[in-house]
Amino acid sequence: MPKRVVIVGGGFSGTVVAANLLRRAPARCTEIVLIERGPEIGRGLAYAVHDHPYLLNVPAGRLSADSREPLQFLHFARRTRPDADAEEFLPRHLYGAYLQEFLLQAERASRGIAFTRVTGEATRVSRPDPPGGGATSALAVEIDGREPLAAQWVILAPGNPPPAALPWAESLAGHPAYHDHPWKPLPRLGEEHRALIIGNGLTMADVASALCHEAPRAPHVMTVSRRGLVPLPQSTFHAAAVRGDGAGLLACAGSIRRVLVASRSMAREVAEHGGDWREVVTFIRNLAPALWQRLPEAERRRFVRHLQGHWDVHRHRLPPQLAERIRVLRRDGHLSINAGRIESVAADGDRLQVTWRRRGSATLSSVTVDALINAMGPNYRLEDSRDRLMLALRSDGWIAADALHLGLRTGPHGGCIGADGAASGQLFYLGPMLRASHWESTAAAELRNHAEHLARHLADTAA
């Protein structure tokens, strides 16, 4: 009987898993359908074309979408930038073009497999067969304004969710000064204006740089986040400089405190030998899935509460050019970084009055801004999702949140664990919410590996 794979989401994860399935399709699979609600497959929000030249956070030599060809993206980039270096941080829109070609080449090389692109929004997954159809009977993917698509397998690859909706934001809906998503067009501000960015992570750095692109006539930008931690800069280092299989670190997995002590000891040792602490972070990152799965839930919870912010600024680092840009903006008084929390926001004509409290202080401060931008990063808490498909999947029992609200519960190969606690053999998830089970699952290399493993699993299962 002919079989179809339906992939929901055409960003990095959806594009790469589609390419892998085209290369090695499951037996008797006749069609692969990729559903994307945006205008372009392969770009999504991360790699879209913007007026501001946003940079990738990873060097070109470490961004191949194919593990068999580690320098594939670099070779692609050199067609238009002959001098591109493996350690260079290139524009994001270039990576989007690379992903589009990566998929096109896989489509051209496929034999006997139809590849269909569908522009639309998937809204529900159901099993329309009558009782007794069996656990492997076809699923149906409902698409807004279209006939449902029957599928033997469905892969959810919706990409990053938007930032969390803040408690006071509902009253500001439609206000010209409030920007609830950092990747929507930003306002053009001059030196007479003031902006406030909520969040201090990678997205904050991108937004601050874009707002201040006309320095020295840049606006004054202030930021507020709970801890006020800013990502550290990237550097050129040897990713494999720390040797060993990590057995010693994994042996500490009963306690996050022991893991922290061991990690600091490794960093000191590397520094004493003239190395870079980033080598240790990369070493730990490669062990993160096994380490995370060994940690008891109470220790995982302790990490999220006390150490996640510190891990994030060491792990998710700024391109050197952007780090220097942020340093100069702070030095010249265009950017101020703050730790604290926003207590309330009220409209003041076309501006907004923000009341906030500095961390460790009981005193409230007030500032009136021309732009307030939510750059808190993706909200992976499934209970907060406003996505129609995710809401339907959770309501119908297809997916379930993990205990720490980090993403989706998944089994081997990303099979979605439903409300009944069983992992599906037909509905899979691929994307950053795998961090509930693997912790490190947001970078291109990690998601690429998950995509390759999932495609291989489907091909082997159907053989």
Backbone dihedral angles phi then psi of residue 417, each to the nearest 5 degrees: -90, 120
Residues 428 and 454: beta-carbon distance below 8 Å: yes
Residues 401 and 409: beta-carbon distance below 8 Å: yes
Pairing of strands 139-143, 122-126: antiparallel
Pairing of strands 29-36, 415-417: unpaired
Q: How far apart, in whole angstroms, are the C-alpha atoms of residue 38 and residue 232? A: 32
CATH class of the region 169-228+320-374: alpha beta
pLDDT at position 239:
62
pLDDT digits (tens, 9 = 90+) for 363-373: 999 999 999 99
Complete DSSP assignment for 381-422: -GGG---HHHHHHHHTTS--B-TTSSSB-B-GGGEEE-TTSP
CATH number for 3-161+380-462: choose from 3.40.50.720, 2.60.120.10, 3.40.50.410, 3.50.50.60: 3.50.50.60
pLDDT band at residue 244 using 50, 70 and 90 as cut-offs? confident
Which has more confidence, 185 or 418?
418
Q: Give how far Cα 45 sits from Cα of 93, 118, 144, 215, Å.
A: 10, 18, 21, 26
pLDDT digits (tens, 9 = 90+) for 124-144: 999 886 545 454 678 999 999
Pairing of strands 371-374, 178-179: parallel
With left for phi above 0 and alpha for psi between -120 and 50, is residue 146 left, alpha or beta? beta
Specify the domain boundaries for CATH 3.50.50.60 within the chain. 3-161+380-462, 169-228+320-374
Q: Which residues pair with residue 368 across a beta bridge? A: 353
Asked, as a colleague might, if the bond just before 2 is cis with ω within 30 of 0, I would say: no
* Tokens of residue 13, six digits: 């994860």
pLDDT band at residue 43 using 50, 70 and 90 as cut-offs? confident
pLDDT digits (tens, 9 = 90+) for 404-453: 999 999 998 999 999 999 999 999 999 999 999 999 888 899 999 999 99
Residues 203 and 316: beta-carbon distance below 8 Å: no
